[in-house]
Structure 1
Amino acid sequence: MIARITQLFPLWAIAFSVLAYVQPTLFVDLKSTIVPLLTIIMLAMGLTLTPTDFGNVARSKGAITLGVILQFSVMPILALVISLVMGFSPEQTVGMVLVGSVAGGTSSNVMAYLAKGDVALSISMTAISTLLGVVLTPLLTGFLAGKTVDVPVAAMLLSLVKIVLLPVGIGVAINTLARPAIKRIENILPLVSMAAIVIIVAIVVALNKDNLAVQGMAIAVAVILHNGLGLALGYGLARLFGFEPTVCRTIAFEVGLQNSGLATALAMKFFTPVAAIPGTLFSVWHNISGSILAGYWSRRQPEERDSAQLAVES
């Protein structure tokens, strides 16, 4: 029963998005729960991991390198190309490029978890790309969109520690010290994560109802293209380099799902509300598309790695 509910993740995400759009008052006051919900999600994932999982990631330098390179090449370039092809204004373009230039979001960790990807690898890539993004986000935005921004370094690092590293670390420690107890509840952990991310999606929709109502369809199409191509290229290029499906799923989410909340905040602080629309829409859409893809992959067992893939990964 629990597994069936979890497999319907995409439908729950869409249903709650519609509900939040029609009745935003049900979710607006829950804004302050977003960070605690993210923390719960990361704790739940940590409870499924052991130190050995991260030791294995340390031997996957090829996967980490490819994922980070794709993160800061595929997404910013796609953002600029789509903006130019669709004839966007400078404000719309800088908003798109900001979304493409930020690091991967914590939602990629959740989707990798639900899609039977490599969660430890996902968390490691998110952490590395977040740290690199401190330098690369303003550089890429300035180079591609002709603008410069100041990235809140301290706030970003603190957020990473509080939302990702600390709860995951606590979860790993608990799982290591009390494995028998955790084993009895591990079947409900995906359900906890699913419920939390669905509520977060609903809150984001409710908070941005007005922006979603007045913005043009062109930006929505651009965001869907940006996200979809990022997911497809992330997976396809990883497969092209010979990585096993579990790693390819993880890289796909790392490339296609962005820290669009940061992009929205930077756009509001340094540019205009128009520049924040791509980030706002991406925040909603990538959770829906990610949940759909995660739901699909959760029903398909990844293939076992072979010796050739192991050679590439190492």
Structure 2
Amino acid sequence: MNRLTILFPLWALLFSALAFWRPEWFAGGKPLIVPLLGMVMFGMGMTLTWQHFAEVLRRPGRIGLGLALQYLVMPLAALGIALALQLPPELVAGLVLLGASPGGTASNVVCYLARGDIALSITLTTLSTLLAIVATPLLTWLYVGQQVPVPVGSMLWSIFKIVLLPVALGVAVNAALGHRLAAVKSAFPLLSVAAIVAIIAIIVALNQSSLASVGILVALAVVLHNAVGLAAGYWAGRLLTRDERTARTLAIEVGMQNSGLAVALAVKYFSAAAALPGALFSIWHNLSGSTLAAFWSRRPAPSVSRTRGGSTGLQSGSGQRD
């Protein structure tokens, strides 16, 4: 990756500060978020083949591990952090709802930049969204005591438009013309960085008023919650799969939630205050994810170890190349 790409976190911080100072410069870019993500997903697809997805499906243990971490660690961590910091009830509800939400689409882009297993990342985002129809309301009711219906149909349609369709088109183009498009493919990491920096700036601008009112305890709760997800995903992946690429992917998938869903549900079923953790998380997880992506992008991700005599679903090589 070139120097501009490696400086990803710096660009994200600079444009976040600029958007907070002058939100009117960026807030009008809200309609660009989906097209920007779609463009990046298409570029990611051009780095993949259909074989990558076939290999993911032959490793159900890794998929199950990612989903278990997503829905077991994150909501429980949210409750523990909220109680430890003695947050008021509406903020407890908002943080738990955030923890019970599925993975977000931005995680796929960060995984791509971090040299993770993109096919596994996309699979986990899609399946965690499918599970959200049961898991999100059940876990919120278990920890907070209130039911929150999840609009899983519209969420899946969004994932189809933003993730699955552009990636599939990219894979198809790569299969047909990949050998002729090397120069084009090499430009996508830089385009991805520019797109994510723009998206972060737009999100900051749209949430500027609520961010100005966020207290230090809410900010601390969000940072701790994200850190728990990143650490749990990475070390569980490292210990159980013994594969660095999978560990990176699980860290990002578990640590980056669908904060937009959490905000929408919090406002509808709890209160505006309950939406603050999700609003802040939408910015923080992109900043922390971009920092990790910049760090990992400079380090190849070879397997730590491989099993003897074939794969077991958890311990097996990813087969995906840088």
Q: TM-score range by the shorter chain?
A: over 0.9
Q: Cα distance, 1:305 vs. partner?
A: 4.9
The within-5 A match list for 1:80-159 is 80-159=79-158
The within-5 A match list for 1:247-266 is 247-266=246-265
TM-score, structure 2 normalization: 0.94
Matched residue type, 1:198:
V
SS at match of 2:181: helix
Gap runs ≥5 in structure 2: 317-322
SS at match of 2:26: helix
Instruction: Report if aligned partners of 2:24, 2:205 keep a CA contact under 8 Å in 1.
Output: yes
Corresponding residue number in structure 1 for 2:218: 219
Runs of 4+ in 1 over 3 A off after TM superposition: 309-312
Corresponding residue number in structure 2 for 1:302: 301
> Structure 1 residue 57 and structure 2 residue 59: aligned?
no
> Structure 1 residue 189 and structure 2 residue 188: aligned?
yes
Q: Distance in 2 between matches of 1:237 and 1:34?
A: 32
Matched residue type, 1:214:
S
Q: Deviations over 1:103-162 (max 9, x none)?
A: 011111111100111001100111111101111101111111111111112211111111
Deviates more, 1:33-42 or 1:120-129: 33-42
Q: Cα distance, 1:173 vs. partner?
A: 0.8
Q: Cα distance, 1:307 vs. partner?
A: 2.6
Q: Cα distance, 1:182 vs. partner?
A: 2.4
Corresponding residue number in structure 2 for 1:67: 66
Q: Cα distance, 1:228 vs. partner?
A: 0.8
SS at match of 1:102: coil
Instruction: Report if aligned partners of 2:105, 2:125 keep a CA contact under 8 Å in 1.
Output: yes
Q: Distance in 2 between matches of 1:251 and 1:279?
A: 21
Instruction: Report if aligned partners of 1:102, 1:133 keep a CA contact under 8 Å in 2.
Output: yes
Corresponding residue number in structure 2 for 1:18: 17
Q: Cα distance, 1:249 vs. partner?
A: 0.2
User: May I ask how many residue pairs the two structures share in their alignment?
Assistant: 313
SS at match of 1:117: coil
Q: Distance in 1 between matches of 2:264 and 2:205?
A: 17
Corresponding residue number in structure 2 for 1:235: 234
Q: Distance in 2 between matches of 1:283 and 1:191?
A: 22
Instruction: Report if aligned partners of 1:61, 1:313 keep a CA contact under 8 Å in 2.
Output: no
Between the aligned residues of both structures, percent identity stands at 51
Q: Distance in 2 between matches of 1:156 and 1:276?
A: 18
Q: Distance in 1 between matches of 2:241 and 2:188?
A: 31
> Structure 1 residue 246 and structure 2 residue 245: aligned?
yes
Q: Deviations over 1:209-239 (max 9, x none)?
A: 1111112111000000000111011101111
SS at match of 2:116: coil
Instruction: Report if aligned partners of 2:19, 2:26 keep a CA contact under 8 Å in 1.
Output: yes
Corresponding residue number in structure 2 for 1:282: 281
Corresponding residue number in structure 2 for 1:31: 30
Corresponding residue number in structure 2 for 1:313: 315
Matched residue type, 2:168:
G
Instruction: Report if aligned partners of 1:101, 1:140 keep a CA contact under 8 Å in 2.
Output: yes
Pairwise CA RMSD of aligned residues?
1.3
Q: Cα distance, 1:69 vs. partner?
A: 0.4
TM-score, structure 1 normalization: 0.97
Q: Distance in 2 between matches of 1:220 and 1:299?
A: 29
SS at match of 2:307: helix
Matched residue type, 2:99:
G
Instruction: Report if aligned partners of 1:108, 1:254 keep a CA contact under 8 Å in 2.
Output: yes
SS at match of 1:148: coil
